[in-house]
A and B are shown apart, each in its own frame.
Chain A
Amino acid sequence: MAADVTLRDTRIDLTKSPAFAADLAGLDALETFQDPRRPLPARIWSSAWPKLAAVGLGLLIWQIAVWSAWRPEWVLPSPLTVFESLGNMITTAEFWDALANTLRRAVLGFGFALVSGTAIGLAVARVRVLRTAVGSLITGLQTMPSVAWFPLAILFFGLNESAIFFVVVLGAAPSIANGLINGVDYVPPLLVRAGRVLGARGWSLYRHVIMPAALPSYLAGLKQGWAFAWRSLMAGELLVIIANRHALGQEMQFARDNSDAVKLISIMIVILVIGILVDVLFNAFDKRLRARRGILDSV
């Protein structure tokens, strides 16, 4: 048996030769070739025109409905009238006060839901007995229309900020918790195994492996949580009217009481635009996340 003599033969090392390094470098270059990206204006245009076309089409349908005299003009005003009124409205201090109040409620409620939903989600994901106990309860809460909480909230807190806050948090927190729990459930076991081999244990495994891996699903939970918070808030502002405090929902209620369809639709457009802007924000974050992880085709 010649094993003892030639195990570490160092006569010629092929891997030190330039030809070998060139082989490897060549293969690397071939396998990582990427098509050049399209220029920025082209990319912006290709994402903008379908949206613009959709908005145009929507306005056209609206205008056709007005022309058909399906409803009297004071109930269904034309887009032009509404946008004129909207233009005037956003110059008033009252509008900005209402907007500020509504956004403050949204941010506070969603912020608190974010913290509590995340804490509950983490606890439920980690502790098996807690999962058995309240796992399906969270899903149940998530499917429950949060507006159903209002009568009880009003009994509890009265017609005030606390009632609105309570319902907004209850609307958003279960979605956020569920997003995190689902994310933790779907972490690839291989990454967890790799993390453990690399020395991650307990909290550091959560911090460096499980939570980053669960981030996409958590983000989806946040997005849904925001949608629920925003809906609950609008419902709340229609129901819970606080004296001397303007809010978008409350303004809508007043507009309806005064049969002011122009103002009503103007405020609805503001609410829609805020919803879209927040969604754009979430999507931008989500897209960046996917691009970094290579889940996205280069668009």
Chain B
Amino acid sequence: MTLLDFRAGAASAASAKSVTGPAKSLTGPARTIPDADPDRPAVRLDAVSRRFGTGPTAVLALDRVSLGIAPGEFTCIVGASGCGKSTLLNLVAGLDAPSGGTLSTYDSRVALMFQEAALMPWLTVGENVELPLLLAGTGRGARQRRAAELLGTVRLDGCADKRPHELSGGMRQRVSLARALAQDADVLLMDEPFGALDAMTRDLLHDELERVWRETGVTVLFVTHNVREAVRLGDRIVLLSSRPGRVVAGFQVPVARPRRIDSAEVAELAATVTDALREEVRRHGR
């Protein structure tokens, strides 16, 4: 299995979506990618490092991470604690700047989802989904139409007037997904979005996310501790080491979709990835 090969994903991704031009529509399901060239990644990291602090107490969170992610690809990043995953997502989201190396997002719009839904508790569910549109200056009518549509996408029709606290954790996370989609992002970054959910809800949300990903053609960069989850969802899995975060291995996931998290194929590849992860973790105990 080869590492850092985004072309395998790109070939099929390109065939799955229309690449007609740079224009973006707010309402239609059809999406376009900023760059029509399928060989060109949606996100590219070249030897990206991030150091916090200076002098002897400096912490190297990411060490020369190189990674290319193709448009429409679903990439899972797996690593133990301290692998710099949040740092990595912050960099790609533009909330932070690398200390070294180059990072390109090719003018993609980037959305980020957290482990917590992070909904604004003073807004209704609908207003939460509208928030990115409001911040982008979209008019009220268009905002409401788009929010209703997106709530439909995550199967929460009729919940627009509810308050976030009235929903379950899984429903809140779906609102968060709808809100991220409202940004009309080309790249969706997900930071352990299902980590705090019970197993049954998580399994259903895997199916949901996969469906939304297919329908929208969005590029997903998904960080998780859960190897099975990564195998269930990803086109490709990237294994990061801890302290500092380095890319140590990459796995293509040749399991046909739709997948089941409890299928033998998923379990088999998960075992391989887990072995590699354990070996990496063991290194720190010595």
Contacts and interface: CB of A to CB of B under 8 A. Distances in A.
- Answer yes or no: are A and B bound together in one complex: yes
A194 B95 contact: no
Contact of B258 (A13, A31, A197, A213): A13
Interface in B114-172: 114, 116, 118, 120-123, 131-132, 134-136, 155-156, 163-171
B131 A23 contact: no
Interface string A186-217: 00001101111111100010001100110100
A92 interface: no
A280 B166 CA distance: 26
Contacts of A37: none
Contacts of B186: none
Main secondary structure of the interface of A (DSSP, over half): helix
Contacts of B155: 21, 24-25
Contacts of A129: none
B112 A292 contact: no
Given A9-B257, A23-B204, A199-B136, A4 B121 contact: no
Contacts of A31: 167-171
Given A191-B120, A193-B95, A198 B11 contact: no
B183 to A, nearest CB: 7
B112 A197 contact: yes
B23 interface: no
Contacts of B264: none
Interface residues of B, number: 55
B232 to A, nearest CB: 12
B35 interface: no
A20 interface: yes
Contact of A27 (B120, B134, B204): B204
Nearest to A29: B168
Interface in A1-22: 1-9, 11-16, 20-21
Contacts of B207: 14-15, 20
A32 interface: yes
B202 to A, nearest CB: 11
Nearest to A14: B258
Nearest to A204: B135
Interface stretch (B53-61, B248-256, B278-286): B248-256
Given A4-B12, A8-B16, A215-B122, A27 B132 contact: no
Given A6-B256, A7-B12, A215-B122, A292 B163 contact: yes
Contact of A198 (B8, B183, B253, B258): B183
Contacts of B112: 197
A208 to B, nearest CB: 7
B166 A294 contact: yes
B254 A6 contact: yes
Given A4-B8, A294-B164, A13 B211 contact: yes
Given A1-B8, A27-B201, A293-B163, A197 B256 contact: no
A28 interface: yes
A257 B234 CA distance: 86
Contacts of A289: 122
Interface of B: 1-2, 8-9, 11-13, 15-16, 93, 95, 111-112, 114, 116, 118, 120-123, 131-132, 134-136, 155-156, 163-171, 179, 183, 200-201, 204, 207-208, 210-211, 214, 235-236, 252-258
Closest 4 CB pairs of A and B: A294-B165, A31-B168, A3-B252, A194-B118
10 contacts: A1-B8, A9-B258, A15-B208, A15-B210, A15-B211, A32-B171, A194-B114, A198-B179, A212-B123, A289-B122
Interface of A: 1-9, 11-16, 20-21, 23-25, 27-28, 31-32, 34, 190-191, 193-200, 204, 208-209, 212-213, 215, 289, 292-294
